[in-house]
Amino acid sequence: MPFPLGGDFGRVVSRGFNVVSSDPETDQGDGLVYAGPTASGSSFSASQPPGAEKDHPVHQLLESVSRTKEFYNFSGGTTGSGVLSKVSSNVSSAWTHSVVPLAATSFWRMAQFNPGEYPRLPGVFSDLFVYDVVTSFTSYNSRIIHMIDTLAARIKQAGDPSMSGNVIQTDYYTTVSGQVDPCIGDFEPPFITYIAPTASGLEVRPRDQAIEFSLSDVITGVDISTVFASVNSTTSGTFSLLANGSDQTGGHVNVTGDATSYNFRYVPPFLWDYNDIVTVTISGSDLTPMVGGNPFFCTASGTNSFTGTIPFQVLNETSLPASLTVIGDTVPPYISQAVPASGTTGNSVFDPVVVKVADDLTGVDLSTLIVNVDSNPIVSAGVPSSSETVITGTPTEYTVTYTPTSAFTYGSTTNVAVSAADLVSITAPNSFSSLYDFSFIEDSTLVIENFVPAVGTHHNLDQLDIKVDVRDDTYGVDADQTFFVINGTVTSGTQTLLASGIQLTYHPPNDFNFDEPIRVTVHGTNGNVSAPVVKEAFYTLFYGCRILYFNDDPFPHATNVDVFVRARNVEALHKDLTTGYFFTSYTQPSSDFGASIEAINPQADLPATLTVIGPEHNYGQTVTVEFSVEDFEGNLLGPYIFTYTIENKPD
Amino acid sequence: MAAVSRWVRYPIAGTTGFSTIQNGTRGLQRGTANTSDKFTIPGGANNQMKVNIDGAAGPAPYQITLTSGTDLDPRFVARDIQRKLQTAGAGVNDGFDYCQVEFSNYKSSNGFGQFVIRSGTTDTGSTVAITAGDSSVLSLLGLNSLATENGTNDHLGTSTDALDAAYTGTATVSGVYRGAFDDLYQLTIGDIQPIGTATAAGGNTYGISNAGVATGGGFWNGDADETYTVTIATTNGQTVGGGTGNVPTFTVTSTQSDDVATAQEILYADEPYYIGTRGLTISWSDAPFGSGDVFTVICTKPTTVDGSNPTGAVAVAEYQYRSFLGDDSSAVTVTSVGGTALGRKGLTVGFSDSGVLTPRDEFKVVCKGPTPEAFGVTNMVYGNVTVTTESPVKVHQFEIISGAVDMSSVKFSLQSHGTFSHHDAGDLDTFFRYGTAGFGNPGDGTSNPNEGPEWTTSVLAADIATAKTSGNTGAPIHLDSTVTDLAVVSSADNAEDVGNRSLVADFVWTNIRLGAQESGANSSINYRLYFDYV
């Protein structure tokens, strides 16, 4: 069974005539009598029983036609158009129709009853034909109506001898004896009897889909040398399967069968791509047609060719849409932590101010961060205003730590103003500003006093005890939280109780370096448990020439040189007490002079004591010291040369 | 023929389950009238059946309405019935809770596959009763003619107790079942593997001339050594998958007369086919058979518990386990009080130290995979998702319900990120996360079926936020592979591999981490799944 294809493959139809006759008395009422399917040969001599095909749909439909005699006359010549007219007397009006000449012959004229044009013929008979035989064929006294339905060809003959000319009588018939040679030939192309995948549209197929089709031509056979097949793939492009019947795929097309029916099977050596749309185009012809029968009827036509397609799609995919509703960032940044917290009281004046700004969604835009403390900007546009402020963190949360060099004032209230925006850019950023305040603890009677060494005094290092009194007449002193911080190191030293406090004493276990000043912080905390007050005092001890230095061996006792320099500089200020003056030469190879300058008042007289003692000195040695003083303006005082002699080694 | 498929959604917190230890055989009813391998279930009528299991009191029997469709695959229909029976009878009894439905050749008298409904319990109270629904589907499924087996305390195919009375203790299963599908495990005491390999005869086409693989399995536990011989006929077809009437068939002879004279159709590759009536199965991979191909399976009765002792206490006796889906032990394990592995999907079994165990003592556990919450899903809805946060994690499964006999080359991809403008925009702020695991590609790095977890309850966004390639043993260990951020691809070659078992793909977990700058009230994307089928 042929499959419906994209192309027109037509049908194989034998042109052998079935010639029938009719007795009017046995007419079925439509004036048409049909032959059975037996007269496919080249001759006939007997009529078929009337009504043999009565049940045929064509017949059934025609039964509704009146029995009124109707005569039709072809007019016109053997070519061109003419008129098919009613000529009988009992027909009131002529019924005309164009004559369509048959191609390639002058012996036939054909009228085609188009749908609906003949009111008593149902409009479905678009393929009802009336054929007229020209006079050269009158020896058979034949008028032939050739009706073709979708299944077979039929011939009807009007044999009324009284009629002449190109007249068709459709009412009664006489038995006709004689011969009408059939025209036997192959008028149809090969057709496809099998296709895989089926071609009723885009078939969804697996990726290893093979392509199969069978070509058949039962009349003359398929001319294998005319068969072409090619593939057009949306992803693999176009390539040939068959050319002139030969495999073009390197052995992947298998051909079986013979001219009557060839079977082709292509198994691709690859997998079709997902979603590939594949179209296979097939074409071919049959062999040289057979032609026989009456030469008036039969002429040779060429070979019959066809083209067809097989489309399919490797549609092995499915979609799963997903949706969500985006909830945008409409939440501004916020203060995630503040220390001291907003509204709190009794905070330590020494604690830093810490504020954390967070944004959980898009994050904080640092460039928008502003923090003011008591209206003083400590962060502007995300940049710290001084080294007192440090910013750490990420856009999720930034931490601002403000540690002022000067403690806050006891009992004061400080306000902090913070503002920032988030990083939303597709809409306007969300911003916030916040102002909060907190207060510090009130001052107390906590006192730090009596620091030793006193200002202006000079001490030997091994006698250098640092002392201070920490006292609170109301709450007492928290000894555990009262201590020294000396050069950055916390030390509690020795604590001696006083009447309302303690005295801290620190005796250095080792000598300090001469190079650096000694920085002492006294940290005192009173005994107010609920709101302890902390105070700190700061002192700096500078080395000076008046701080005597006692050497170890070889100087078991003092052998030093007191050098007193009184310099006066009234034009230039001294930038730094420890570096504004320095020694420029010394006869000894040592670079360590073992002394420094202490300036009591840089703008007044500058006394200095040089203690020049070094391990290289020997008993009885004479030492020469060259001393000069220079200020930063390049003014040099000196050099002054001193000579002294070290005592002899004692017994 | 076009394949008809659908998406199935599982609850992210979906749980699995397993029964207590059972002994003996399960009650069942099976159809005997079916001759088809495709089933058209109308949508409005002839789609209902009633089932009672273990004689549950009213309102049992429960009526279920089957999913409609044309030419439905029988394995799908069986799964559909099973899901609906478990749901309808949830909590009624273990018979319903752990019931199992299969389309198989179990004792098929006509050689065609039949629907078999088994109770989730064993022993004499285990029964199944199938009756017509208000608009009965029974005739369509060949269930208008039924064979019935009530449960027993016997070994399958024998009348001896499945658990020797000498063991007075209790076996207890614990753990979390991590399988994707329902399965049945059987633990058998003994020092050997009772079921040998399925050996292809030397003259075979299958397995000799080609690479076909036959695998013996099932639960044979007979009381005498037995050799099964399976003979293939290719009169109707050489390969599986051609549909009923066009596939190879087999007959069976055994040295203990457990014969099957009626040719049994081999419809599908890699599905177990019953060989005889004593629990032995063979599954064949997809390869052409030759006419007269022969396979032999030697089944051996264990005679000692440890290689030397005819009986033994816990910690002496050994066992091996098998599951219907092929989670089979490769070696025997010594029983213990503390518990040792029962399968490779999360379960352990412990034995109380009381009495002695005897060879062939058998213990069964019915396991249940996660239960879907929606079928035929056409849209995945993540709901409201706030920028910079992770959306809820969703888990889906793809399955073919008709038009195919097997599936392969499943691939998952992001076809379109829709209106999301901050995906792969350089700032990488929107991520389309993905992870997969399942029967085809379980977790734990093996990527071999039956060798790792297939389902995990409550997979987190963090689990699929890190990339893991298939077969990798790294985190997340419970997933086979994960992708931090799926790229938009248009080719299957660039899609992510997803495993499958027959017509059911592995689970796919997805979620979206929204970038900070995304906007739009309702944004949609499109996932695409590629698959091949035959």
DSSP A414-482: EEEEEEEEE---SSPPPEEEEEEEEEBPPP-S-EEEEEESPTT----GGG--EEEEEE-TTT-B-GGG-
Contact B380 A427 (CB under 8 A): no
Tens-place pLDDT, residues B99-129? 999 999 999 999 999 999 999 999 999 999 9
Which pairing describes strands A291-292 and A184-185: parallel, antiparallel, or unpaired?
Answer: antiparallel
Tens-place pLDDT, residues B442-464? 998 888 999 999 999 999 999 99
Output A520 or A552, whichever has higher pLDDT: A520
Q: Confidence band (pLDDT; 50, 70, 90) for B419?
A: confident
Average pLDDT over residues A406-431: 86
pLDDT value at residue B46 = 95
Instruction: Report the chain A residue with the minimal C-alpha distance to residue B516.
Output: A362
Least confident of A268-272, B169-173, B248-252, B316-320: A268-272
CA torsion B321-B327-B330-B336 (nearest 10°) is -40
Of A274, A329, A361, Cβ closest to residue B492 = A274
The Cα diameter of chain A in Å comes to 185
Using a CB-CB cut-off of 8 Å, the residues of chain A touching B526 are 319-322
Using a CB-CB cut-off of 8 Å, the residues of chain A touching B528 are 317-320
Say how far apart CA B380 and CA B58 lie, in whole Å: 38
Give the gyration radius of chain A's Cα atoms. Answer: 64
Q: Which two tokens stand for residue A514?
A: 């001469």
Output A56 or A539, whichever has higher pLDDT: A539
Question: What is the complex's ipTM, to 2 decimals?
Answer: 0.81
| Locus of tokens 């017949």 | A59
Q: Which two tokens stand for residue A146?
A: 């050739």
Instruction: For chain A, give the mean pLDDT.
Output: 63
Helix (H, G, I), strand (E, B), or coil: what is residue A113?
strand
Instruction: Report the chain B residue with the minimal C-alpha distance to residue A207.
Output: B532
Q: Confidence band (pLDDT; 50, 70, 90) for B428?
A: low
Q: Confidence band (pLDDT; 50, 70, 90) for B284?
A: very high
Query: Environment class of residue A632 by beta-carbon count within 10 Å: exposed (0-12), middle (13-18) or buried (19+)?
Result: middle
Query: What CA–CA distances, in Å, run from B142 to A448, A645, B114, B148?
Result: 104, 131, 7, 14
Contact B528 A318 (CB under 8 A): yes
pLDDT value at residue A45 = 28
Residues 6+ positions from A335 with CB-CB distance below 8 Å: A355, A356, A357, A358, A418, A434, A436
Output A234 or A8, whichever has higher pLDDT: A234
Question: Does A532 score more than 50 pLDDT?
Answer: yes
Which pairing describes strands A305-313 and A246-247: parallel, antiparallel, or unpaired?
Answer: unpaired
| Strand ranges across the sheet with A211-216 | A191-196, A211-216, A261-266, A253-258
Average pLDDT over residues A73-83: 41
- DSSP for B80-100? HHHHHHHHHTTTT-HHHHT-E
Q: Confidence band (pLDDT; 50, 70, 90) for A215?
A: confident
Contact A604, A559 (CB under 8 A): no
How many angstroms separate the CA of residue A196 from the nearest CA in chain B? 11
Contact A324 B533 (CB under 8 A): no
Average pLDDT over residues A408-414: 87
Highest mean pLDDT pick, B80-89, B154-163, B400-409? B80-89
Say how far apart CA B129 and CA B134 lie, in whole Å: 16
| Locus of tokens 């100087």 | A555
Average pLDDT over residues A271-279: 82
Contact A278, A233 (CB under 8 A): yes
Q: Confidence band (pLDDT; 50, 70, 90) for A99?
A: very low
Question: Does A612 score more than 60 pLDDT?
Answer: no
Cβ-Cβ contacts under 8 Å between A and B: the total is 131
Give the containing element (helix H, strand E) for A400. strand A397-402
How many angstroms separate the CA of residue B385 from the nearest CA in chain A? 5
Q: Which two tokens stand for residue A35?
A: 């032959």
Instruction: Report the chain B residue with the minimal C-alpha distance to residue A272.
Output: B532
Contact A361 B523 (CB under 8 A): no
pLDDT value at residue A28 = 32
Output B356 or A579, whichever has higher pLDDT: B356
Of A316, A319, A324, Cβ closest to residue B512 = A324
Q: Which amino acid is at A343?
A: G
Give the containing element (helix H, strand E) for A365. strand A364-373
Of B385, B519, B528, Cβ closest to residue A317 = B528
Give the containing element (helix H, strand E) for B286. none
Contact B409 A207 (CB under 8 A): yes
pLDDT value at residue A191 = 77
Using a CB-CB cut-off of 8 Å, the residues of chain B touching A318 are 5, 7, 398, 528-529, 531
Average pLDDT over residues B314-328: 96
pLDDT value at residue A631 = 52
pLDDT value at residue A182 = 39
| Locus of tokens 């002192």 | A539
Tens-place pLDDT, residues A382-391? 999 999 999 9
pLDDT value at residue B476 = 92
Tens-place pLDDT, residues A469-489? 999 887 889 999 999 998 888
How many angstroms separate the CA of residue A308 from the nearest CA in chain B? 21
pLDDT value at residue A556 = 34
CA angle B234, B240, B242 (to 5 degrees): 95
Q: Confidence band (pLDDT; 50, 70, 90) for B503?
A: very high
pLDDT value at residue A445 = 76
Least confident of A332-336, A640-644, B449-453: A640-644
Which pairing describes strands A563-567 and A534-541: parallel, antiparallel, or unpaired?
Answer: unpaired
pLDDT value at residue B204 = 96
pLDDT value at residue A640 = 59
Q: Confidence band (pLDDT; 50, 70, 90) for B421?
A: confident
pLDDT value at residue A288 = 63
Query: What CA–CA distances, in Å, run from A548 to A467, A563, A596, A646, B231?
Result: 19, 12, 11, 17, 116
Q: Which two tokens stand for residue A301?
A: 């036509």
Query: What CA–CA distances, in Å, run from B418 to B428, B486, B488, B524, B525?
Result: 16, 13, 10, 5, 5
Question: Does A450 score more than 70 pLDDT?
Answer: yes
* Percent of chain B at pLDDT exceeding 70: 99
Q: Look at phi and psi of residue A76 and say left if phi exceeds 0, alpha if psi is from -120 to 50, else beta.
A: left
Highest mean pLDDT pick, A92-96, A200-204, A231-235? A231-235
Q: Beta strands of B234-358 (E only): which ranges?
A: 249-254, 260-265, 273-274, 280-284, 294-299, 318-323, 333-334, 340-341, 347-351
Using a CB-CB cut-off of 8 Å, the residues of chain A touching B491 are 274
pLDDT value at residue A19 = 30
Helix (H, G, I), strand (E, B), or coil: what is residue A637?
strand
Residues of A with CB under 8 A from a CB of B: 203-204, 206-208, 271, 273-274, 315-329, 360-363, 423-427
Using a CB-CB cut-off of 8 Å, the residues of chain B touching A363 are 516
Helix (H, G, I), strand (E, B), or coil: what is residue B492?
helix
Average pLDDT over residues A119-127: 32
Contact A131, A125 (CB under 8 A): no
Contact B423, B516 (CB under 8 A): no
Nearest to B433 by CA among B374, B385, B473, B471: B385
Interface test with B, best of A200, A267, A326, A360 (most B CBs within 10 A): A326
Average pLDDT over residues B301-317: 96
Helix (H, G, I), strand (E, B), or coil: what is residue A492?
coil
pLDDT value at residue A156 = 33
Question: Does A52 score more than 60 pLDDT?
Answer: no
pLDDT value at residue A541 = 76
Question: Does B182 score more than 90 pLDDT?
Answer: yes
